[in-house]
Structure 1
Amino acid sequence: MPALRTLLAIPVTAALLCLNPGSAPHPGTLAEATLPLLVTQGKAPAAALLTTEGADTRFTTTNAALTPADHVRAGSITKTFVATVVLQLAAERRLDVSAPVTRYLPALAPLRDLTLRSLLTHTSGLYDFTATNHGTTPLTPAAVAALALAHARTTPGGAWAYSNTNYVLLGMIIRQVTGHSYATEVRRRIIAPLHLTGTSFPGTRTAVPRPHGPDAIRLDPRAAGAAGEVISTLPDLNRFYRALLRGRLLPPAALSAMLNTRTAQGHYGMGVFPEKLPCGITVWGHNGRIAHTYVRTAATRDGSRVMTYRVTRQLLAKGPSVEHRLLTAEFCA
């Protein structure tokens, strides 16, 4: 891996746009110089990133067809929205994350040893329904629950193993507790208060709203449900994670619980995961892979700096190493 100072020598074809009206463009940063690696090494057709720090917002893209206003399927970033609602309900004493899942979903009697915490932290060991529907075929929540009951646990003993099934069950629990769908509760509790005008839960609508990038394809959102339905924009995702980590959406105890990774052996909190960078900084956020698109948001613990990037391909070649270099360039420079 080249030293960070050498990354500035990488040819940059990115268009750098300043999103603060009336102000001058900002000089390129190491992250903006590193972005083309997602294309040259990650083999993505195109990439874009948006960084927010204070009043400063910077957008960079390797392809002018991608804009900051684009709507994009954010996939598993949906989990952060759902976890936030669950923790809000816990803070309101309307549910208990230590309670068994069967308190809220009695039909899942064989899962009586599992708690809501095990769902939030991916330590339930439940079969991942996307191994059956491959993220493309619509499934009802009841069908997802039936698959969980029909398959043996993948990781007995509370070990961490990522499973989309966990968050579909959490969506069912939100409905049971509130009488409303998870989408309705996210709209009321997060989207409306934060004025996330580009964020939506499409339900049965298969198209991505305009404007969107060339990677937008039709998909029945019920193929992902509470595990990956949300559509958003890069500015909205930055605003959401910034508000979350600054304590605007959760009381301090609930936010601390969200960021506690002990249950998941350091891999995952509740709806977010950490990544420690070489300079000692740990960033928090989530990623999403769905329908030819990959999106990731990462932020400092206090939400003072947030970066969301997207690529027009669901999986990156050499993805983890290239992503790690991009995060390091942004947060360690």
Structure 2
Amino acid sequence: MISRRMGLTTAAATLLTGVAAPRATATAPPSLRTTGTHEDTGSRARLQRDVDTVLATGATGVLAEAQTADGRTTARAGLTDRSDPRRPVPWDAYYRIGSDTKTFTAVLVLQLAGEGRLALTDTVERWLPGAVRGDGNDGRRITVANLLRQTSGLNDYLAVSPDAADAFTPAGYRRSRFRSTAPEDQLKAALAHPPLWLPNAERPERERRWGYSNTNYVVAGLIVERVTGHSWAQEIHDRIIEPLGLRHTLTPGTSPYVPAPTATAYTWFPDAGGPTDTTLAAGGGADGSLISTTRDHGVFLRALMSGRLLPPAQLAAMKKTVAADDWITAPGVRYGLGIAWRPVAGSRDGIWFHGGTHLGTVSESGVTPDGARAATSATFGLRMGDPAQDAQDAAGRRLIDRALTDR
């Protein structure tokens, strides 16, 4: 599983550089669908053009949605599967949202903080005694806020796992696609290496060193389970999915399947000579396992920023950010508690976003600070190590920015 914003773990990024992959050549007639009174003709046409632009970078299929309280506009381009030019990407397709899951997990933790059941200043040691120790790692120096803000210094288990290199090959993928790894084992892999740093001993909440690590959210999920006595999946369902009526959002557990309708998630591995169908994939948890739709994801983001999921104090805490340099190729990005902010031309207040990547699927999303407007997209097709993937990612971010600013 890849559950990191750019779609490549640190290990994979090192391993998979400068490898060109074949472009997808399949195309399908563009489509547009509007529900309610959402947007004018120009905005709808622009969304379709932006979807077409993402497809033209080499994706096999793209689905995107712009959403307000008045309705939603959904645009699509490309195919459900490269082998059948008669089947466009389905409306309301399910897809793995990857690290967009982290925002959901952060909401759980902040809800517990709002209820007084934990504090953001609590240390990991407070809730998981002895769990983060060894090789210089020290849970007494890491707070809950450090985990959510990615300022803990913990290594990314995906980057340091001994199986990381093998996983990013067609044969390695096939060997591991039905295999799940327990969060305790993921944490163990991360702790087998010295930390990148230890947060400030006196004021860990003021730590400004930043490094993206899926391990932070593995630990956050374990803390949710320790505090509540319930599984992370149950808390996601009871606190977010059911109250918001997200009927097409689910925690797959150990199942490697994505419900229908969906589109084939193709990955171009380095030196593989062609795409691999990577739709089947087990594993993941609080750091990147959710399956959703563009509609449900937009509803979640709008509810979050409009204050339906968190009290004002916790929402404000979520928006306290640090600079997240070198995370994505966009200027001025800052990372909060499970959500990030970036400036956008035409918007005085910028947008909030996260994004996620799984093998064969890229999730892009964004929401205005007041929750009035959200934009979400699923792009099917991931080309590891191919510079053209950067073009696909940039086009996806432009789609989100334009859908939110109406420019």
Give the TM-score normalised by structure 1.
Answer: 0.88
Cα separation, partners in 2 of 1:52 and 1:258, compared to 1, 3 Å: same
Is residue 219 from structure 1 mapped to residue 281 from structure 2 by the alignment? yes
Is residue 330 from structure 1 mapped to residue 400 from structure 2 by the alignment? no
1:117-172 deviation per Cα after TM superposition (whole angstroms, max 9, x unaligned): 11000111111111225475532111122123211122555411110000000110
Q: Where does residue 153 of structure 1 map in the other structure?
A: 195
Q: Where does residue 183 of structure 2 map in the other structure?
A: 141
Aligned-residue offset at 1:24:
11
Partners of 1:320 and 1:72 in 2: CA distance: 17
Partners of 2:238 and 2:307 in 1: CA distance: 17
1:168-192 deviation per Cα after TM superposition (whole angstroms, max 9, x unaligned): 0011001100001111001000000
Secondary structure in 1 matching 2:63? strand
The residue identity in structure 2 corresponding to 1:145 is L
Aligned-residue offset at 1:206:
1.3
Is residue 255 from structure 1 mapped to residue 315 from structure 2 by the alignment? yes
Aligned-residue offset at 1:210:
1.4
Partners of 2:380 and 2:397 in 1: CA distance: 18
Aligned-residue offset at 1:205:
1.2
Q: Is the 8 A contact 1:29 1:330 kept in 2?
A: no
Is residue 269 from structure 1 mapped to residue 342 from structure 2 by the alignment? no
Cα separation, partners in 2 of 1:310 and 1:86, compared to 1, 3 Å: same
Q: Where does residue 301 of structure 1 map in the other structure?
A: 369
Q: Where does residue 236 of structure 1 map in the other structure?
A: 296
* Greater CA drift, 126-135 or 175-184: 126-135
Q: Is the 8 A contact 2:157 2:215 kept in 1?
A: yes
Q: Where does residue 245 of structure 1 map in the other structure?
A: 305
Partners of 1:24 and 1:298 in 2: CA distance: 17
Aligned-residue offset at 1:243:
0.6
Q: Where does residue 357 of structure 2 map in the other structure?
A: 289
Aligned-residue offset at 1:32:
2.5
Aligned-residue offset at 1:112:
1.2
Cα separation, partners in 2 of 1:214 and 1:25, compared to 1, 3 Å: farther
1:51-76 deviation per Cα after TM superposition (whole angstroms, max 9, x unaligned): 10222210101136223321111111
Secondary structure in 2 matching 1:87? helix
Aligned-residue offset at 1:95:
0.6
Task: State the number of aligned residues.
Answer: 318
Cα separation, partners in 2 of 1:236 and 1:154, compared to 1, 3 Å: same
Q: Where does residue 83 of structure 1 map in the other structure?
A: 106
1:77-100 deviation per Cα after TM superposition (whole angstroms, max 9, x unaligned): 110111000000000010111111
Q: Where does residue 200 of structure 1 map in the other structure?
A: 250
Partners of 1:25 and 1:244 in 2: CA distance: 26
* Greater CA drift, 30-39 or 171-180: 30-39
Cα separation, partners in 2 of 1:213 and 1:25, compared to 1, 3 Å: farther
Q: Is the 8 A contact 1:121 1:263 kept in 2?
A: no
Cα separation, partners in 2 of 1:182 and 1:190, compared to 1, 3 Å: same
Aligned-residue offset at 1:194:
0.6
Is residue 111 from structure 1 mapped to residue 139 from structure 2 by the alignment? yes
The residue identity in structure 1 corresponding to 2:346 is C
1:242-296 deviation per Cα after TM superposition (whole angstroms, max 9, x unaligned): 1111100000110111111138686211111112112244111221101210111
Q: Where does residue 390 of structure 2 map in the other structure?
A: 317
Q: Is the 8 A contact 1:122 1:162 kept in 2?
A: yes
Is residue 54 from structure 1 mapped to residue 69 from structure 2 by the alignment? yes
Partners of 1:192 and 1:102 in 2: CA distance: 32
Secondary structure in 1 matching 2:59? coil
Partners of 2:391 and 2:93 in 1: CA distance: 26
Partners of 1:243 and 1:259 in 2: CA distance: 15
Cα separation, partners in 2 of 1:269 and 1:25, compared to 1, 3 Å: closer
Is residue 185 from structure 1 mapped to residue 235 from structure 2 by the alignment? yes
Which of 35, 54, 64 is the matching residue for 1:38? 54
Give the fraction of aligned pairs with identical amino acids, expressed as a percent.
33
* Greater CA drift, 140-149 or 29-38: 29-38
Question: What stretches of structure 1 of length at least 5 have no aligned partner?
Answer: 1-11
Secondary structure in 2 matching 1:226? coil
Partners of 2:108 and 2:304 in 1: CA distance: 11
Cα separation, partners in 2 of 1:328 and 1:235, compared to 1, 3 Å: closer
Secondary structure in 1 matching 2:286? helix
Partners of 1:18 and 1:58 in 2: CA distance: 4
Partners of 2:262 and 2:75 in 1: CA distance: 16
The residue identity in structure 1 corresponding to 2:117 is R
1:222-254 deviation per Cα after TM superposition (whole angstroms, max 9, x unaligned): 2x2211110111110011111111100000110
Q: Where does residue 34 of structure 2 map in the other structure?
A: 18
Aligned-residue offset at 1:197:
0.4
